[in-house]
């Protein structure tokens, strides 16, 4: 679509410039949130060893990014949940279900070998499409 503006939402990470990323990007009515790790406000890993609590933290960060881009959880159409131990998927699913039981986005769970920080057990990506004439 010609003339569609691109909005980036910063993460506050010192790695943004080095890696060349934004926490979220909005183009028109489409918002994507980058892989979101369970990083506590002080920069440490939130809830070490707790998949459920780490998933809640990831979703909180992703939701804040959505809101900064003018979207909400109700606009989410897809989530991707990456786990270092997929046998613990129900712990992540519980947090996801609490957030999205009424919205029901397409959702994928995958196992990965590891993340940048060894204490991260989960990382989440979110895609949203705003309903209506936003943009």
Q: Which residues contact 121 (CB under 8 A, 6 or more apart)?
A: 38, 49, 50, 51, 54, 83, 84, 85, 88
Query: What backbone phi and psi angles, to 5 degrees, belong to 95?
Result: -65, -40
Per-residue model confidence (pLDDT) at position 14: 73
DSSP state of 63: H
**What are the structure tokens assigned to 19, written together?**
């890696």
Per-position pLDDT tens, the chain of length 135: 455 689 999 988 777 888 889 999 999 999 999 999 999 999 899 999 999 999 999 999 999 999 999 999 999 999 999 999 999 999 999 999 999 999 999 999 999 999 999 999 999 999 999 986 444
Write the burial class of residue 69 (CB in 10 Å: 0-12 exposed, 13-18 middle, 19+ buried): buried
Would you state the structure tokens that stand for residue 100, as one six-digit string? 């999205």
d(CA 20, CA 84): 25
Whether 92 and 52 have beta carbons less than 8 Å apart is answered as yes
Q: Are 129 and 30 in contact (CB under 8 A)?
A: yes
The CA distance from 108 to 90, in Å, is: 13
Neighbouring C-beta atoms of residue 62, cutoff 10 Å: 24
Q: How many CB atoms lie within 10 A of CB 46?
A: 20
């Amino acid at each position: 679509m010609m003339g569609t503006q691109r909005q980036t939402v910063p993460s506050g990470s010192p790695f943004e410039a080095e890696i060349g990323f934004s926490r979220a990007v909005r183009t028109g009515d489409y918002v994507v949130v980058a892989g979101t790790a369970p990083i506590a406000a002080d920069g440490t890993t939130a809830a070490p060893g707790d998949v459920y609590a780490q998933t809640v933290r990831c979703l909180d960060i992703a939701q804040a990014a959505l809101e900064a881009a003018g979207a909400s959880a109700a606009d989410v159409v897809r989530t991707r949940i990456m786990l270092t131990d997929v046998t613990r998927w129900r712990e992540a699913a519980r947090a996801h279900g609490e957030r999205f039981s009424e919205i029901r986005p397409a959702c994928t769970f995958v196992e990965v070998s590891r993340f940048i920080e060894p204490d991260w057990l989960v990382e989440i990506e979110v895609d949203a499409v705003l309903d209506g004439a936003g943009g």
